[in-house]
């Protein structure tokens, strides 16, 4: 690792729902990520700091935090992108989720809403059936492709205004997941899923502010997925399917 070129002034949230920001001086290095900064603090300055990470390469979705006011995946966020010449960084837990301690949030509600949106695949074939043949060029398959790479980091959930206003709202990630299954021609639970994602606590609560799309580290568009669910549930309601 390159030599430190300066010192970062890092403010980190300490405590639970009630707490305060604590300042740390962290050596600035080349190609340093925000997760590197948090890890440095935990390993060198304050072993009591709680935070989550696993893969460090943008696959697992566990290291999301609020960095200088924006929800981000910290393992793929370079310090150079968020710290100005003054080297100041503020790191807080994700918004819209209960804080367990320091930078670790309780994601139970977030994942419970995936279940409430019927985010599990329901197969219709048995092991004696042949594989389903799904054309990569089929419109439904392409809709799935556009939304399937979600890593469950909850950045969209933390960025969403409607989640902040309506705690029952399923949120962008759960609805995006439901959209991938609605377009999965092998799935057998479309009717139940469309009922689960319809209404004022689900896709119809979305105001299309597009904060989820703006902040998604995987450059997905949950807003588009939710718009798709609005169309599909509308059609289902008019034809008596829900």
Partner 1 sequence: MGPRAEVLLWLAQRASAAVLAACVAIHLATMIYAVQGGLSAAEILGRTRGNVSWLAFYAVFVLAAAIHAPIGMRSVIREIVGWRSRSLDLALCAFAVAIAWLGWRAIAGLFR
Q: Which residues bind partner 1 (CB under 8 A)?
A: 162, 165-166, 194-196, 198-200, 202, 204-205, 230, 233-234, 236-238, 242
Please say whether the beta carbons of 88 and 38 come within 8 A: no
Nearer to partner 1, 12 or 229 (CB): 229
Nearer to partner 1, 63 or 212 (CB): 212
Nearer to partner 1, 21 or 165 (CB): 165
Residues in Cβ contact with 110 at an 8 Å cutoff, skipping those fewer than 6 apart: 97, 154, 157, 171, 173, 174
Q: How far is the CB of 55 from partner 1 (least distance, A)?
A: 36
- The first and second tokens of residue 80, run together, are 């150079």
Q: CA-CA distance, 71 to 64, in Å (whole number)? A: 7
Q: How far is the CB of 162 from partner 1 (least distance, A)?
A: 7
Q: How far is the CB of 90 from partner 1 (least distance, A)?
A: 28
Q: How far is the CB of 174 from partner 1 (least distance, A)?
A: 15
Nearer to partner 1, 42 or 195 (CB): 195
Q: DSSP code of 123?
A: B
CA dihedral 37, 72, 168, 221 (to 10 degrees): -160
Q: How far is the CB of 169 from partner 1 (least distance, A)?
A: 9
- The first and second tokens of residue 45, run together, are 């300055």
Nearer to partner 1, 195 or 221 (CB): 195
Helices (H) and strands (E) in the chain, counts: 10, 7
Read off φ and ψ for residue 175, nearest 5 degrees.
-70, -35
Give, in order, the Cα–Cα distances in Å from 101 to each of 14, 16, 66, 78: 7, 5, 14, 24
Q: How far is the CB of 234 from partner 1 (least distance, A)?
A: 5
Q: CA-CA distance, 27 to 195, in Å (whole number)? A: 52
Read off φ and ψ for residue 51, nearest 5 degrees.
-160, 170
Nearer to partner 1, 106 or 200 (CB): 200
């Amino acid at each position: 690792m390159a030599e430190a070129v300066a010192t970062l002034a890092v403010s980190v949230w300490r405590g639970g729902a009630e707490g305060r920001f604590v300042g740390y001086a962290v050596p600035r290095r080349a190609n340093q990520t925000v997760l590197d900064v948090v890890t440095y603090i935990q390993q060198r300055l304050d072993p009591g700091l709680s935070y989550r990470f696993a893969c460090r390469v943008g696959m697992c979705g566990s290291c999301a935090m609020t960095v200088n006011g924006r929800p981000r995946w910290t393992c793929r966020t370079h310090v150079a992108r968020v710290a100005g010449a003054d080297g100041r960084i503020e790191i807080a837990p994700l918004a819209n989720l209960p804080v367990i301690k320091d930078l670790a949030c309780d994601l139970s509600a977030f994942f419970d809403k995936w279940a409430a949106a019927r985010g599990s695949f329901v197969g219709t074939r048995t092991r004696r059936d042949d594989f389903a043949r799904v054309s990569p060029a089929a419109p439904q398959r392409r809709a799935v492709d556009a939304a399937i790479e979600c890593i469950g980091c909850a950045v969209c959930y933390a960025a969403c205004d409607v989640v902040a206003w309506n705690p029952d709202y399923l949120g962008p990630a759960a609805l995006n997941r439901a959209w991938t299954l609605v377009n999965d021609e092998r799935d057998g639970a479309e009717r139940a899923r469309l009922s689960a994602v319809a209404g004022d606590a689900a896709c119809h609560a979305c105001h299309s502010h597009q904060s989820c799309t703006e902040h998604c580290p995987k450059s997905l568009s949950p807003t588009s997925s939710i718009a798709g669910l609005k169309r599909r549930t509308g059609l289902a309601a008019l034809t008596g399917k829900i």
